[in-house]
Amino acid sequence: MNQLEQLKQHTVVVADTGDFQLLRAYTPRDATTNPSLILKAVQKDEYRPLLERTLTDHRGLPARDLIDRLLVAFGREILAIVPGRVSTEVDARLSFDIEGTLVKARQLIHLYESAGVSRERVLIKVASTWEGIRAAEILQREDIRCNMTLLFSPVQAAAAAEARAQLISPFVGRIYDWYKRAAGPQWDEAAMAGANDPGVQSVERIYRYFKHFDYRTEVMGASFRNTGQILALAGCDLLTISPDLLEKLQQTEGEVPRRLDPASAHETAMEKLATDERSFRYQLNDDAMATEKLAEGIRIFAADVIKLEKLVASRQ
């Protein structure tokens, strides 16, 4: 078997793309999207009819509302291909707005349900800020399942689990990027690969923490830079992988042993992290990497939402 087939024996494979026409080649169970991926997809010729149809069907709506319809249109096309769930992201500009996040999440679920898609098949992606986690806690009680994104630190993960979020998406590649840049010329790519990769170690730490304390929140590694990072996390609950890396895994033969095992997590003594607001904010602030990558991620996603709005406005 190729590496992708073997990986699927240990981990649920998720496709990280808005380019749904690529999904059939890799048969993932779920798919994830974000504003950057949708912006990239919607500019391709093959998706122009979907964009035009969305604009025609909802002509006259404000740009922000049209973006919601566009996100759901992509989500519906994805769900026609994958058997599981799709993740659709709340506007990053609401990352510090509890009420705004609640309104947007409920609106997205309403649009899906109005189109005949049950809420069980949708994960609403919310930034892992203090406010985002509080919003997710409320949404989960309403049976709106949340995928906590832009997650870089143990305290973000622990707080999301305490809030009973459905799933978290720790960003392997962006953590790797930060440490590589910080090390500069001292970075040794070979020595820091695989299990020594700081992004891989972050997800492994979170995975063991969740299994040790029997949290039901799913752990889904995300934002990979190479297949070595993916293979080092074989056994994680889920891994969301870009099409180019799915292709590399599919084209490569070789053994893929399981690296993460829930049974081993109970063998290590651990203490729970404090997740009250004061402790959360201090621990996050004390982690320079997590603080910087969270802020940067929000800025990037917000900028791409604005680009989407301008693109939609130019077509009306």
- For 8-48, what is each residue's pLDDT tens digit? 999 999 999 999 988 999 999 999 999 899 999 999 999 99
The owner of tokens 């989500």 is 75
Binned at pLDDT 50, 70 and 90, residue 288 comes out as very high
pLDDT for 269 = 85
pLDDT for 266 = 81
Residue with the bigger pLDDT between 60 and 5: it is 5
pLDDT at 305 over 80: yes
Indicate the class that CATH gives domain 3-315. Answer: alpha beta
pLDDT for 267 = 80
Strand partners, 218: 167
pLDDT for 40 = 92
Binned at pLDDT 50, 70 and 90, residue 274 comes out as very high
Residue from 8, 125, 211, 293 carrying the catalytic annotation: 125
pLDDT for 268 = 80
pLDDT at 316 over 80: no
Q: What does the pLDDT average to over 76-85? A: 97
Binned at pLDDT 50, 70 and 90, residue 88 comes out as very high
- The answer to whether the CB of 137 falls within 8 A of the CB of 164 is yes
- For 181-216, what is each residue's pLDDT tens digit? 999 999 999 999 999 999 999 999 999 999 999 999
Q: 230-234: list long-range contacts, CB under 8 Å, 24+ apart.
A: 230/7, 231/3, 231/7, 231/194, 231/256, 231/259, 232/194, 232/195, 232/197, 232/200, 232/259, 233/11, 233/172, 233/200, 233/203, 233/204, 233/259, 233/260, 234/7, 234/10, 234/11, 234/258, 234/259, 234/260
pLDDT for 17 = 95
What are the extents of the domains in the chain? 3-315
- For 236-253, what is each residue's pLDDT tens digit? 999 999 999 999 999 999
Average pLDDT, whole number, for the chain?
96
What distance in Å separates the CA atoms of residue 285 and residue 213, rounded to the nearest whole number? Answer: 25
pLDDT for 184 = 98
Q: Is 307 a catalytic residue?
A: no
